[in-house]
Amino acid sequence: MTTATTTVPRGAPPRTTETGLFSLADLSVETVTRLAERSVALHRDRTAHDRPLAGATVGVLFTKPSTRTRTAFTVAAVRLGATPVTYGPGDLQLSTGETVEDTGRIFGSMLDGLVARTAGPLDELRRLSRYGHLPVVNAMATEEHPSQGLCDLATLTLCLGDLRGLRLLYVGEGNNTAAALALALAGVPGCEVTFACPPGHGLPEDLLATARERAARTGATIAERDSARELPTGVDVVYTTRWQTTGTSKGDPAWRERFRPFHVDEDFMARRPGALFLHDLPAHRGDEVSGAVLEGPRSVAWTQGAMKLSSATAVLEWALAGAQT
């Protein structure tokens, strides 16, 4: 289905709701599962679509660094037939004081959709959608990185098949990647997820509550620990992420001392002999993970990175080509 630009009438009021992908919590378990399965299909055959965005124009706004996500969504837009228009951190009048609402109105009069990673909270992306009357895809906000969560679910599906009863151990900061992972895996029946995070760096309580409520309906469990001692060993997957989340900094100069026990090295993986290793990248060898683990035979981090493209393609197809359900 080809999209058509919707010109926002002059002075049009904002919508009461927004469209696009903002948080996995907004989607049903069934939709999340379908998007992950569609990502796997597109990874296996990148031509498995009929260029549904032919003739569309997609804005790609990144005010924070990105290698995988920015490249994935730009390439995905092109492969689906759209023309991407890219913006960097200083390219828009947002940097001179124009409001998010006014920027949204202009975007909506010219673009068919927007993929955005900004320095602000998720609500900014929702306002861009409401005032612009256009679908917006969250390419990482402070609170959550939903396309990463879909990519992770797709990668696990590709590598392991049926995920029912999956046991996953996440080690490191409870950041926006962890938030999306919790919401994604909460929809997997019988899944057991443990988040081991340094004290003061765990998942937000409201996010944990949302994930656990979702998990209660599927028989999944979401646990969190603030110690690296006595962590589960009978797991299928070990997942870590960089300690210094993109675009953030830690005020405590001694923070690395609290993170050091959460380092994933060969000994850590040896105690979990059947586990695959995932990392959302970029990786800082010697911090959260050793080079030997990242490059080792059980690491699927590079497959995971490559699948950013197929998951971005699935998201754009769903969000912009009229396939949202």
Distance of CA 143 to CAs 118, 120, 123, 139, Å? Answer: 12, 10, 10, 11
Indicate if the pLDDT at residue 227 is higher than 50: yes
Instruction: Give the angle 156-162-167 at the CA atoms, nearest 5°.
Output: 60
* Model confidence band, residue 119 (pLDDT cutoffs 50, 70, 90): confident
Residues 23 and 145: their CA atoms lie apart, in Å, by: 8
Q: With beta carbons less than 8 A apart as the criterion, state whether 299 and 277 touch.
A: yes
* 84 phi/psi in degrees, rounded to 5: -85, 145
* pLDDT top residue among 321 and 60: 60
Portion of the chain with pLDDT greater than 90, in percent: 87
Q: Name the E strands within the chain.
A: 20-21, 57-62, 83-87, 113-117, 136-138, 167-171, 192-196, 221-225, 237-240, 276-279
Chain-wide mean pLDDT for the chain? 93
Indicate if the pLDDT at residue 325 is higher than 70: no
By C-alpha distance, which of 145, 129, 162, 15 is closest to 69?
145
Q: Which residue segments constitute the domains of the chain, with CATH numbers given?
A: 20-144+308-320 (3.40.50.1370), 148-305 (3.40.50.1370)
- What would the two tokens of residue 303 be? 């497959």
For residues 241-267, give the mean pLDDT: 85
* 104 phi/psi in degrees, rounded to 5: -60, -40
Helix, coil or strand: residue 61: strand
For residues 118-128, give the mean pLDDT: 92
**pLDDT for residue 120:** 84
